[in-house]
Amino acid sequence: MRRPTVLAAAALTAVALLSACGSSDSDTATPGGSSSTGLTGEIAVLAAASLTGSFTDLGKKFEAAHPGTKVTFSFGPSSGLATQITSGSPADVFASASAKNMDTVVAAKAAGTPTTFARNVMEIAVPPANPGKITALADLAEPDVKVALCAAEVPCGVGAHTVFENAKLTVEPVTEEVDVKATLTKVQLGEVDAGIVYVTDVLAAGDKVKGIEIPADVNASTSYPISTLTASKNAALAQAYVDFVLSAEGARALTAAGFEKP
Protein backbone atom coordinates (compact mmCIF):
# COMPACT_ATOMS: atom_id res chain seq x y z
CA MET A 1 0.00 0.00 0.00
CA ARG A 2 3.03 2.30 0.03
CA ARG A 3 3.31 2.36 -3.80
CA PRO A 4 1.27 5.65 -4.27
CA THR A 5 3.56 7.45 -1.83
CA VAL A 6 6.66 6.37 -3.75
CA LEU A 7 5.11 7.50 -7.06
CA ALA A 8 4.19 10.88 -5.61
CA ALA A 9 7.71 11.42 -4.33
CA ALA A 10 9.14 10.56 -7.74
CA ALA A 11 6.81 13.01 -9.42
CA LEU A 12 7.81 15.79 -7.05
CA THR A 13 11.48 15.06 -7.73
CA ALA A 14 10.91 15.32 -11.49
CA VAL A 15 9.11 18.65 -11.10
CA ALA A 16 11.98 20.01 -9.00
CA LEU A 17 14.53 18.95 -11.63
CA LEU A 18 12.53 20.59 -14.42
CA SER A 19 12.23 23.79 -12.38
CA ALA A 20 15.97 23.84 -11.79
CA CYS A 21 16.63 23.50 -15.54
CA GLY A 22 14.22 26.30 -16.30
CA SER A 23 15.87 28.54 -13.72
CA SER A 24 19.29 27.91 -15.26
CA ASP A 25 18.03 28.93 -18.73
CA SER A 26 16.53 32.19 -17.44
CA ASP A 27 19.82 33.26 -15.86
CA THR A 28 21.82 33.05 -19.08
CA ALA A 29 24.41 35.83 -19.12
CA THR A 30 23.91 38.73 -21.50
CA PRO A 31 26.64 40.69 -23.35
CA GLY A 32 28.72 42.73 -20.98
CA GLY A 33 29.04 39.99 -18.40
CA SER A 34 25.79 40.46 -16.44
CA SER A 35 22.25 39.12 -16.55
CA SER A 36 19.25 41.26 -17.38
CA THR A 37 17.66 40.75 -13.94
CA GLY A 38 17.12 43.77 -11.73
CA LEU A 39 18.14 46.50 -14.20
CA THR A 40 15.40 48.96 -15.15
CA GLY A 41 14.98 52.66 -15.79
CA GLU A 42 16.96 55.27 -17.68
CA ILE A 43 20.44 56.78 -17.51
CA ALA A 44 22.02 59.84 -19.13
CA VAL A 45 25.51 59.39 -20.55
CA LEU A 46 27.66 62.44 -21.28
CA ALA A 47 30.34 61.49 -23.82
CA ALA A 48 33.00 63.10 -26.00
CA ALA A 49 31.82 64.00 -29.51
CA SER A 50 34.30 61.55 -31.04
CA LEU A 51 32.40 58.70 -29.34
CA THR A 52 29.11 59.53 -31.08
CA GLY A 53 29.03 56.59 -33.51
CA SER A 54 30.47 53.88 -31.29
CA PHE A 55 28.51 54.83 -28.16
CA THR A 56 25.23 55.16 -30.04
CA ASP A 57 25.77 51.61 -31.32
CA LEU A 58 26.76 50.33 -27.87
CA GLY A 59 23.71 52.00 -26.34
CA LYS A 60 21.39 50.08 -28.65
CA LYS A 61 23.15 46.81 -27.86
CA PHE A 62 22.99 47.52 -24.13
CA GLU A 63 19.24 48.22 -24.26
CA ALA A 64 18.68 45.01 -26.23
CA ALA A 65 20.64 43.06 -23.62
CA HIS A 66 18.67 44.67 -20.78
CA PRO A 67 14.99 45.04 -21.76
CA GLY A 68 13.24 47.81 -19.88
CA THR A 69 16.27 50.11 -19.83
CA LYS A 70 16.98 53.31 -21.78
CA VAL A 71 20.29 55.06 -22.40
CA THR A 72 20.16 58.73 -23.41
CA PHE A 73 23.32 60.33 -24.80
CA SER A 74 24.60 63.89 -24.87
CA PHE A 75 27.72 64.29 -26.99
CA GLY A 76 30.01 67.32 -26.99
CA PRO A 77 33.47 68.65 -26.13
CA SER A 78 34.90 66.94 -23.06
CA SER A 79 35.82 70.25 -21.47
CA GLY A 80 32.26 71.53 -21.81
CA LEU A 81 30.76 68.30 -20.50
CA ALA A 82 33.08 68.39 -17.49
CA THR A 83 31.88 71.93 -16.74
CA GLN A 84 28.25 70.81 -16.99
CA ILE A 85 28.87 68.01 -14.49
CA THR A 86 30.75 70.13 -11.95
CA SER A 87 28.01 72.77 -12.28
CA GLY A 88 25.41 70.24 -11.18
CA SER A 89 23.89 69.06 -14.45
CA PRO A 90 22.12 65.71 -13.82
CA ALA A 91 23.81 62.73 -15.47
CA ASP A 92 24.88 59.19 -14.66
CA VAL A 93 28.02 58.40 -16.68
CA PHE A 94 30.86 60.50 -18.12
CA ALA A 95 33.16 59.32 -20.93
CA SER A 96 35.87 61.85 -21.68
CA ALA A 97 38.33 62.21 -24.57
CA SER A 98 40.88 63.53 -22.11
CA ALA A 99 42.20 62.37 -18.75
CA LYS A 100 42.57 66.04 -17.78
CA ASN A 101 38.84 66.74 -18.11
CA MET A 102 37.96 63.58 -16.21
CA ASP A 103 40.42 64.57 -13.46
CA THR A 104 38.53 67.86 -13.09
CA VAL A 105 35.29 65.97 -12.46
CA VAL A 106 36.93 63.52 -10.05
CA ALA A 107 38.59 66.37 -8.12
CA ALA A 108 35.15 67.93 -7.68
CA LYS A 109 34.01 64.59 -6.18
CA ALA A 110 31.44 64.33 -8.98
CA ALA A 111 32.75 61.02 -10.34
CA GLY A 112 34.11 57.74 -9.06
CA THR A 113 37.43 56.15 -10.00
CA PRO A 114 37.70 56.25 -13.82
CA THR A 115 38.91 53.48 -16.11
CA THR A 116 40.65 54.17 -19.42
CA PHE A 117 38.92 52.19 -22.17
CA ALA A 118 40.34 53.49 -25.48
CA ARG A 119 42.97 55.59 -27.21
CA ASN A 120 42.81 57.76 -30.33
CA VAL A 121 45.31 59.51 -32.59
CA MET A 122 45.09 62.56 -34.85
CA GLU A 123 44.69 62.57 -38.63
CA ILE A 124 44.32 65.17 -41.38
CA ALA A 125 40.93 65.22 -43.09
CA VAL A 126 40.46 66.85 -46.49
CA PRO A 127 37.48 67.05 -48.88
CA PRO A 128 37.34 64.09 -51.31
CA ALA A 129 38.60 66.20 -54.25
CA ASN A 130 41.39 67.64 -52.08
CA PRO A 131 41.19 71.17 -53.55
CA GLY A 132 44.07 72.37 -51.38
CA LYS A 133 46.29 69.60 -52.79
CA ILE A 134 47.31 68.55 -49.28
CA THR A 135 49.77 65.65 -49.29
CA ALA A 136 51.67 66.17 -46.03
CA LEU A 137 51.39 67.83 -42.64
CA ALA A 138 53.73 70.66 -43.70
CA ASP A 139 51.21 71.77 -46.33
CA LEU A 140 48.91 73.03 -43.57
CA ALA A 141 51.41 75.78 -42.77
CA GLU A 142 51.07 77.32 -46.24
CA PRO A 143 49.39 80.77 -45.98
CA ASP A 144 46.79 80.06 -48.69
CA VAL A 145 45.61 76.76 -47.13
CA LYS A 146 42.41 77.07 -45.09
CA VAL A 147 42.60 74.90 -41.97
CA ALA A 148 39.93 74.10 -39.37
CA LEU A 149 40.89 73.06 -35.85
CA CYS A 150 39.02 72.32 -32.66
CA ALA A 151 39.09 75.04 -30.02
CA ALA A 152 42.33 75.08 -28.03
CA GLU A 153 40.69 73.91 -24.78
CA VAL A 154 39.03 70.90 -26.42
CA PRO A 155 40.99 67.58 -26.48
CA CYS A 156 41.14 67.47 -30.29
CA GLY A 157 42.42 71.06 -30.27
CA VAL A 158 45.07 70.15 -27.72
CA GLY A 159 46.08 67.22 -29.92
CA ALA A 160 46.36 69.37 -33.04
CA HIS A 161 48.53 71.97 -31.33
CA THR A 162 50.74 69.20 -29.93
CA VAL A 163 51.21 67.85 -33.46
CA PHE A 164 52.25 71.29 -34.74
CA GLU A 165 54.65 71.78 -31.82
CA ASN A 166 56.20 68.35 -32.40
CA ALA A 167 56.60 69.10 -36.12
CA LYS A 168 57.83 72.66 -35.43
CA LEU A 169 55.11 74.12 -37.66
CA THR A 170 53.13 77.34 -37.33
CA VAL A 171 49.58 76.87 -38.58
CA GLU A 172 47.00 79.66 -38.51
CA PRO A 173 43.49 78.18 -38.63
CA VAL A 174 40.67 80.07 -40.32
CA THR A 175 38.23 78.64 -37.79
CA GLU A 176 38.29 76.94 -34.38
CA GLU A 177 35.25 74.75 -33.78
CA VAL A 178 33.47 73.67 -30.60
CA ASP A 179 34.29 69.97 -31.03
CA VAL A 180 35.71 67.43 -33.46
CA LYS A 181 32.40 66.76 -35.21
CA ALA A 182 31.97 70.45 -35.99
CA THR A 183 35.54 70.56 -37.32
CA LEU A 184 34.89 67.55 -39.54
CA THR A 185 31.68 69.16 -40.84
CA LYS A 186 33.68 72.18 -42.08
CA VAL A 187 35.79 69.76 -44.13
CA GLN A 188 32.79 67.82 -45.43
CA LEU A 189 31.10 71.02 -46.58
CA GLY A 190 34.24 72.11 -48.41
CA GLU A 191 34.50 75.29 -46.35
CA VAL A 192 38.14 74.54 -45.55
CA ASP A 193 40.97 72.71 -47.29
CA ALA A 194 41.81 70.56 -44.28
CA GLY A 195 41.04 69.85 -40.66
CA ILE A 196 42.81 68.03 -37.84
CA VAL A 197 40.50 65.42 -36.36
CA TYR A 198 40.79 61.87 -34.99
CA VAL A 199 41.43 58.74 -37.03
CA THR A 200 38.03 57.48 -35.91
CA ASP A 201 36.27 60.54 -37.34
CA VAL A 202 37.86 60.06 -40.76
CA LEU A 203 36.83 56.39 -40.71
CA ALA A 204 33.25 57.21 -39.66
CA ALA A 205 32.91 59.83 -42.43
CA GLY A 206 33.51 57.24 -45.14
CA ASP A 207 33.81 58.75 -48.62
CA LYS A 208 32.74 62.21 -47.39
CA VAL A 209 36.37 63.01 -46.57
CA LYS A 210 39.82 61.72 -47.36
CA GLY A 211 42.33 60.96 -44.63
CA ILE A 212 46.02 61.84 -44.69
CA GLU A 213 48.14 60.19 -42.02
CA ILE A 214 50.31 62.21 -39.66
CA PRO A 215 53.81 60.74 -39.16
CA ALA A 216 53.96 58.73 -35.95
CA ASP A 217 57.03 60.57 -34.66
CA VAL A 218 55.10 63.87 -34.46
CA ASN A 219 51.56 62.62 -33.98
CA ALA A 220 49.59 63.06 -30.75
CA SER A 221 47.21 60.75 -28.96
CA THR A 222 44.53 61.03 -26.31
CA SER A 223 43.07 58.55 -23.85
CA TYR A 224 39.41 57.97 -23.01
CA PRO A 225 38.46 57.41 -19.36
CA ILE A 226 34.92 56.51 -18.24
CA SER A 227 33.25 56.64 -14.82
CA THR A 228 29.88 56.64 -13.13
CA LEU A 229 28.85 59.96 -11.58
CA THR A 230 28.24 60.32 -7.87
CA ALA A 231 24.93 62.15 -8.40
CA SER A 232 23.48 59.30 -10.48
CA LYS A 233 19.88 58.42 -9.63
CA ASN A 234 20.35 54.91 -11.03
CA ALA A 235 23.79 53.82 -9.89
CA ALA A 236 23.27 50.13 -10.71
CA LEU A 237 22.29 50.83 -14.31
CA ALA A 238 25.09 53.39 -14.69
CA GLN A 239 27.67 50.85 -13.50
CA ALA A 240 26.20 48.21 -15.80
CA TYR A 241 26.68 50.51 -18.79
CA VAL A 242 30.27 51.26 -17.79
CA ASP A 243 30.90 47.51 -17.42
CA PHE A 244 29.41 46.97 -20.88
CA VAL A 245 31.78 49.53 -22.44
CA LEU A 246 34.69 47.78 -20.69
CA SER A 247 33.51 44.31 -21.77
CA ALA A 248 34.86 42.27 -24.70
CA GLU A 249 31.87 43.32 -26.78
CA GLY A 250 32.53 46.96 -26.01
CA ALA A 251 36.19 46.56 -26.99
CA ARG A 252 35.21 44.95 -30.30
CA ALA A 253 32.85 47.83 -31.16
CA LEU A 254 35.49 50.43 -30.31
CA THR A 255 38.19 48.65 -32.32
CA ALA A 256 35.85 48.43 -35.31
CA ALA A 257 35.34 52.20 -35.04
CA GLY A 258 39.10 52.77 -35.26
CA PHE A 259 39.94 53.28 -31.59
CA GLU A 260 43.11 51.73 -30.21
CA LYS A 261 43.36 49.74 -27.01
CA PRO A 262 44.47 51.81 -24.00
Stated pTM of the model? 0.84
Per-residue pLDDT band at 38 (split at 50, 70, 90): confident
**pLDDT, mean over the chain:** 89
Question: What's residue 56's pLDDT?
Answer: 97
Residue at 3 is within a domain:
no
Domain check: are 156 and 209 in the same one? yes
Q: Judge if 91 and 111 occupy the same domain.
A: yes
The SS3 of residue 156 is: helix
Q: What is the pLDDT of residues 63-103, one digit of tens each?
A: 999 999 999 999 999 999 999 999 999 999 999 999 999 99
Asked, for residue 31, whether it belongs to a domain, the answer is no
The answer to whether residue 11 sits within a structural domain is: no
Which structural domain range is residue 246 located in? 41-119+223-256
The Cβ of residue 136 has, within 10 Å, a number of other Cβ atoms equal to: 12
The pLDDT score that the predictor gives to residue 255 is: 97
pLDDT digits (tens, 9 = 90+) for 239-261: 999 999 999 999 999 999 999 99
**CATH code, 79:** 3.40.190.10
pLDDT per residue as tens digits for the range 40-67: 999 999 999 999 999 999 999 999 999 9
Q: Decide if 176 is inside a domain.
A: yes
**197 and 172 in a common domain:** yes
99 plus 158 within the same structural domain: no
Listed in sequence order, the residues at least 6 apart from 237 whose beta carbon sits closer than 8 Å to its beta carbon are 39, 40, 41, 42, 43, 66, 69, 92
pLDDT value, residue 166: 98
Q: Over pLDDT 90: what percentage of the chain?
A: 85
Q: What is the pLDDT of residue 13?
A: 40
Q: Which stretches of the chain are assigned E, i.e. beta strand?
A: 41-48, 69-76, 93-95, 115-126, 147-150, 175-177, 194-198, 210-212, 221-228
**In DSSP terms, which residues pair with 171 in a beta bridge?**
none
